[in-house]
Amino acid sequence: MIYVFKTSVRTKKAVQQLKPYLNKLLQQLNWNFDLEDCDKILRLDTSPELSASVIQLLQDKGFDCRELED
């Protein structure tokens, strides 16, 4: 399932800093940031259990992150 999150990640440098943590958590699952979007979107294809872990991970790293509803 595709999940979409609004984040406070603003730069490619921040994405690079998060990359090892997201790759470890999400293993081989696809994820990407859209920094051009006003909501600095993070999209990922994962399970509901991992989506909560992604929110917690970003918050632990000092970023705001919340799931956007359809």
Q: What CATH number did the domain enclosing 32 receive?
A: 3.30.70.100
Domains in the chain, number: 1
* Token pair recorded at residue 55: 């929110």
pLDDT recorded at residue 19? 96
Q: What is the pLDDT of residues 21-65, one digit of tens each?
A: 999 999 888 999 999 999 999 999 888 888 899 999 999 999 999
List the structure tokens of 25: 């958590």
* pLDDT value at residue 62: 98
Question: Which residues constitute the domain of residue 41?
Answer: 2-67
Cα gap 53→35, rounded to integer Å: 21
For the stretch 1-12, pLDDT in tens is 899 999 999 999
DSSP assignment letter at 68: P
pLDDT level of residue 69 (50, 70, 90 thresholds): confident
